[in-house]
Amino acid sequence: MTSPGRLVLPGRRASLRQLASLTWRESRSARRRLLLYMTSISLGVAALVAIDSFADNVTRSIREQSRALLGGDVAFGSRRPYTPQQKAVLDSLARKSGASYARVVTFPSMALVPRSGGTRLVQVRGVSDNYPFYGVITTEPANRWRALQSGPNALVDPSLLVSLNARLGDTLTLGLGRFVIAAVLKQVPGTPGIAEIIGPRVFIPERYVPETQLLVFGSTADYGILARLPDGANPDRAVRPFRKELERMQIRARTVTQSEDNITEDIQQLSEFIGIVGLVALLLGGVGVASGVRAFVSRKIDTVAILRCLGASSGQVLAMYVAQAAAMGLLGALAGAALGVAVQFGLPAVFGDFLPVDVRVTLEPAAIITGIVVGGWIALIFSLRPLLALRNVSPLQTLRRDADSEILRLRWNDFPRVAVNVALGLSVVAIALLRSSDGRQGLWISASTFAVIAVLTASAIMLSYVARRSLRAGWPYVVRQGVANLYRPANQTRSVILSLGFGAFLITTLYLVQSNLLRQFDVNIQKSNANLVFFDIQEDQAAAVDSLVKSRGQVLQSAPVVTMRIAAVNGRTVEQIVTDAQARREEDSIARTSATRRDSVALVQRRRENQSAQGGRGAARDQRPTRPSWALRREYRSTFRDSVTAGEKIVAGKWFAAASASTPRDTGEVSLDNDIAAELRVKLGDIVTWDVQGVQIPARVTSLREVTWARFEPNFFAVFSPATLREAPRQHVLLASVQGTSAVAALQRDIVSRFPNVSSLDLSLIRETVAKIVEKVTTAIRFMALFSLAMGVPVLFSAVAATRRDRIREGVLLKTLGATRGQIMRILLAEYALLGLLGSLTGMVLAIGGGWGLTRFVFDTGYSPALGPAFAIALLMLALTITIGLLAGRDVFRETPMSALRET
Amino acid sequence: MLRNVSFEIPQGDFVAIVGPSGSGKTTLLGLLAGLDTPTRGKVILDSHDLTTMSENDRARLRGEKVGFVFQSFQLIPTLTARENIQVPLELQGSDGAAARADELLERVGLGERGHHFPMQLSGGEQQRVAIARAFANAPRILFADEPTGNLDATTGTRIFDLLESLNREAGSTIVLVTHDAVLAQRAARTIRLADGEIVGDTAAAA
């Protein structure tokens, strides 16, 4: 029938279709298991997709609503009323570009409702009748915005009615002006919802602003002008010819594209930062996939041997299983993407209050596809490592009675293995770089990831070694057996320690950073017992306010406030310095990144100050002013005194000597905040010339202070020796402690009635506000911590599954030899307890280090790790490991000894 | 393991390799089938020198010319009986694998059970599937490693009858490794191994 003949070697081979169908059929029983391992990456993909999609949603919404956010095509702003020269520049801009202007002046004031006696610090916005050009301000009852200009009306935030115990139609006094509350505001484009709690808004017609008599020389106010350009005009082009002139006149100009870029850049940075969690989750998932696939591979040895016997080449076999893994990895990534989209739809509810726009949630194909591709690739590359071992399976295995997992060991210098390792490392770095706009940050992330993996691998190797060395014959059998499991061939020590330690590290780091930040707030809030601040007190009112406050409570601090700008540093004018600094822009962008991040956790007040500061954070990316420019151009509200307060610490130089404090000299003395000095690039001994409302006052920097800004006290970037500012026009800030809510309200009311221009702030209100913000942030962080805990489970499960078969086989054999259920349980317990202990403790130690790094270098605050909770997390992880280990061992009891013998 | 082992098997012969446990039977089988390579010496299978071929070429050779029957059946647990039989054909890329598998299932008396998975079949049935798979590619040589070792005597005999009758139709060479003297008697020639050396090579008294 068959004639003898030579084998034609390049004969027919299996077609792709045949191989594919064989692959599909062969995967039948393993599909679900493989998919289970692949879910390790799902959570990582979900996080990336959710974060990226949401960030894209926000960015898209901002782009769509950018004109409404700004209210015009260009917004101009100044801290003082416009001078005739300034007006002339703006007029010529209007003539040249065809712009029309709307005006809005913003200033703080006390609002008082005489009927109820309620008072509250508010943000007053006096607007011209054509304000705003874009966007719609909605009110309740509806359509009252149009009616605002019809008389002395006020439109207020709803929360103000509650805190003033007022209702529509009530009279509201601002300074000496009286207004009728016509409606409450429902939606005002351009401000995040949370802004309302900080300072409720009151809109009044611009022409009634003078009646309040609040805007006098030196008052805190922002004079805004919105410009509307003819349709199709480019705002940047319209402003460009005037930019230098405007800058010189200290008018800031922000075009709609700049404002768009600023906000989206912030969103971008925030999402990048949160995205790190997703990235690390993905890598952890990769570790889970690797150990899961290792388990899968060890089950497949027999099948591979048969296939090889039947004529399959090692390449065909590898292709079959790579295809299976890739398909399941893709499914895992798809599932993750779906979950991510679901989460994305829930995010506006969590973050909406912090955002200046209404976020329109839409599917973001780019984010979804990126998530799937990155996740699928990670799954593939991490499964390749264990899959490569299948090439080693010899067809001879079919003749052997026992599937030996040792044969899966690859030489360390096996070329494909080295190639896969390199590809894996490069993928991690590439993805980290891809995800962070700042290359340095990307490298940091990859470096820390590798460092953590290295430390964990080292401790796993150490555990094996110590277990081998310390095993004593005198120990009870079950302990000996359990400890021996740690170093025997094909042990699971490394994979479990790695995934467990990594998980513990992540969760603990998140927790430590979070608790540290929150406590930082808490400590500072508790420290100060002041509960009332009065500001904008004029010189001639200071004594009277002081005695009134003293009659009701205690004056804790009274500080003069002098407004000023920097004119020159060491004889070089601000203009010169800024021009030079632009050349060093690259260098600054790094400092800027860290400074921005600090903002996100620093006081909201300070952040607002930064944003409204001269120059702002910015112009479009290509012509972004550098940070020093902001610090150089901003308005400083400084004080003078002869002593250091409890909230500050001298870190360099000396505080003013008593003699110099009282003797006026040509050059005065100033003490600067450490950070602002760094941003100004000013050193100890430098001379900064200040423009104090037209008068040039040079002052030598004689000390640098570290200021705890989070304390609710008046703090100052610049503190002068009293002699330096003796002559300067000033206002006063007064910090008081008054007992009892009604006493606080009564004092505020009395001050407002007698001194309408003096604003007061109930600090307990601020504390509540901060507590609310902190609570929201905490919820978000808790969610992330819970999320990382959740992703630890499938990873740990995969790690344990990797050696589950050997475990069961051995357990059944032990049972055959007479081991009781309890003995086997205790063997497993000994092994998993040791693994869990080492893994979670190593993770914890690493996390304490990681937490220190993050708080020190990223958040720039003090660090005192919450050791108790860190231990609790470690214990939890330990319990989780033991549970999963024992659950895996359960199958030992399902199988009869006979089945084990038959199987061999 | 093996020393000074040298013999030749003509096409169509039925040879039994016997010897006690640890005598090197399985090692010898592995070498003959090209599952492993010797440290010294040569193995020539149907004019191909296995010792000079790459592992992948040997895999192809096995796929085209060799059939296997194992003591522990070695069916792929995730494939049905029919799919197991198809594997060698599909690996070679031949068409009509399904039809050929049905034909063989019929031939080994499992025509109705092709859709069952190995674990749903008895030991005897599994081995019949394995035999069908071994003949799927019309091998020029069939290696059988204790094919009845895991079966009771009656089933074992029936399985062996089936093996013989299929072999007659295909005209393949059979190399049988066993320590079952009764089974070995049915071979035309018996090679005895002990401690890795040939201690006897006898033709059966016809």
pLDDT tens digits along B32-52: 888 888 888 899 998 899 888
A227: enclosing H helix or E strand:
strand A222-228
Q: Judge: B61–A28 Cβ closer than 8 Å, yes or no.
A: no
Strand partners, A201: A123
**CA dist., res. A799 & res. A775, Å (int):** 36
| Phi, psi of A683, rounded to the nearest 5 degrees | -105, 170
Question: Phi and psi for A431 in degrees, rounded to 5?
Answer: -70, -40
Chain A residue numbers touching B13 (CB-CB < 8 A): none
B83–A14 C-beta distance less than 8 A: no
Which one of B59, B94, B170 has the shortest CB-CB distance to A313?
B59
CA distances from A543 to A82, A539, A662 (A): 32, 8, 22
Asked whether the beta carbons of A102 and A133 are under 8 A apart, the reply is yes
Query: If you search the block for the tokens 């059929």, which residue do you land on?
Result: A25
Shortest distance between the Cα of A7 and any Cα of chain B, in A, equals 7
Inter-chain residue contact B92 with A396, CB threshold 8 Å = no
pLDDT the model gives residue A180? 95
Q: Considering only CB atoms, which chain A residues are within 8 Å of B171?
A: 1-2
Whether A312 sits inside 8 A of B63 (CB atoms) is yes
Selected for mutation to probe chain A from B60, B84, B173 (highest A CB count within 10 Å) is B60
pLDDT digits (tens, 9 = 90+) for B138-163: 899 999 988 888 888 888 888 888 88
**Distance from the B145 Cα atom to the nearest Cα atom in chain A, whole angstroms:** 8
Pairwise CB contact (< 8 Å): A310 & B91 = yes
Smallest Cα distance from A14 to chain B, Å: 4
Neighbouring-strand partners of residue A227: A74, A101
Tell me the average pLDDT of chain B: 87
Share above pLDDT 70 across residues of chain B, in percent, rounded to a whole number: 99
Give the residue ranges of chain A where pLDDT is below 70. Answer: 1-14, 190-198, 217-218, 400-412, 473, 489-490, 520-528, 581-629, 659-665, 710-712, 781-782, 784-785, 788-789, 813, 816-819, 858-860, 893-904
Instruction: Tell me the chain B residues in contact with residue A26 when contact means C-beta distances shorter than 8 Å.
Output: 76, 78-79
Look at residue A210 in the predicted model and tell me its pLDDT: 92
Check CB contact under 8 Å for B93 and A12. Answer: yes
B149: DSSP letter: T
Say whether B92 and A11 touch across the interface (CB within 8 A).
Answer: yes
Judged by CB atoms within 8 Å, which residues 5-44 of B form the interface with A? Answer: 11, 26, 29-30, 33, 35-36
Q: Which residues pair with A106 in a beta bridge?
A: A125, A222
**B contact residues 63-102, partner A, Cβ 8 Å cutoff:** 63-66, 68, 70, 72, 74-79, 83, 87-88, 90-94, 97
pLDDT at A252: 86
Residue of A nearest to B170 (CA): A1
Joined tokens for residue A774: 């902190």
- The first and second tokens of residue B144, run together, are 């059988």
B60 vs A contacts (CB less than 8 Å): 7, 9, 11, 13, 311, 313
- Coil, strand or helix at B14: strand
Cβ pairs bridging A and B (under 8 Å):
126
Are the Cβ atoms of A303 and B171 closer than 8 angstroms? no
Q: Find which of A27, A300, A309 to mutate to test the B interface (most B CBs within 10 Å of its CB).
A: A309
CA distances, A123 to each of A147, A453, B33 (Å): 20, 52, 90
Q: B93–A316: do the CB atoms touch at under 8 Å?
A: no
DSSP H or E stretch at residue A172: strand A171-174
Domain boundaries, chain B: 14-76+138-203
A341: left (phi over 0), alpha (psi -120 to 50) or beta: alpha
| Residues of chain B with C-beta less than 8 angstroms from the C-beta of A23 | none
Cβ of A26 within 8 Å of Cβ of B79? The answer is yes
> For residue B78, which residues of chain A lie inside 8 Å, CB to CB?
25-30, 303
- Interface confidence, given as ipTM, is 0.77
Cβ-defined contact of A9 to B60 (cutoff 8 Å): yes
| φ, ψ at A33 (rounded to 5°) | -65, -45
Q: In this complex, which of B57, B62, B94 lies closest to A310 when CB atoms are compared?
A: B62
Q: Give A586's contacts (C-beta < 8 A, 6+ positions apart).
A: none
Q: Do A21 and B90 touch (CB under 8 A)?
A: yes
Residue A819 to chain B, least CA–CA distance (Å): 28
Closest CA to A784 of A131, A275, A152, A27: A275
What's the pLDDT score for residue A600? 38
Question: According to the model, what pLDDT value does residue A265 have?
Answer: 78
Tell the burial category of B6 from Cβ atoms under 10 Å away from its Cβ (0-12, 13-18, 19+): exposed
Q: Which chain B residues are closer than 8 Å to A310 by Cβ?
A: 62-63, 68, 87-88, 91, 133
Q: Write the CATH number of the domain with boundaries B14-76+138-203.
A: 3.40.50.300
How far apart are the C-alpha atoms of A670 and A689, rounded to whole Å? 10
* B182 Cα to chain A: minimum distance (Å): 22
Residue among A792, A811, A785, A810 at smallest CA distance from A881? A792
Q: Which residues from chain A sit within 8 angstroms of residue B76, using beta carbons? A: 26, 303, 306-307
- B146 — contact with chain A (CB < 8 Å)? no
Interface probe, candidates A6, A22, A306, chain B, greatest B C-beta count within 10 A? A306
With CA atoms as reference, the chain B residue closest to A320 would be B91
The predicted structure's pLDDT at residue A125: 92
At A368 the pLDDT is 93
The whole-angstrom distance between residue A462's C-alpha and the CA centroid of its chain comes to: 36
Do B170 and A313 make contact, defined as CB atoms within 8 angstroms? no
Q: How far is B125 from chain A (nearest CA, A)?
A: 16
The answer to whether A14 contacts B90, with C-beta atoms less than 8 Å apart, is yes
Query: Higher model confidence: residue A471 or residue B25?
Result: B25
Q: In what order do the strands lie in the sheet with B141-145?
A: B66-69, B141-145, B173-178, B14-18, B189-194, B197-203
HSE of A75 in the Cβ direction (CA atoms, 13 Å)?
30
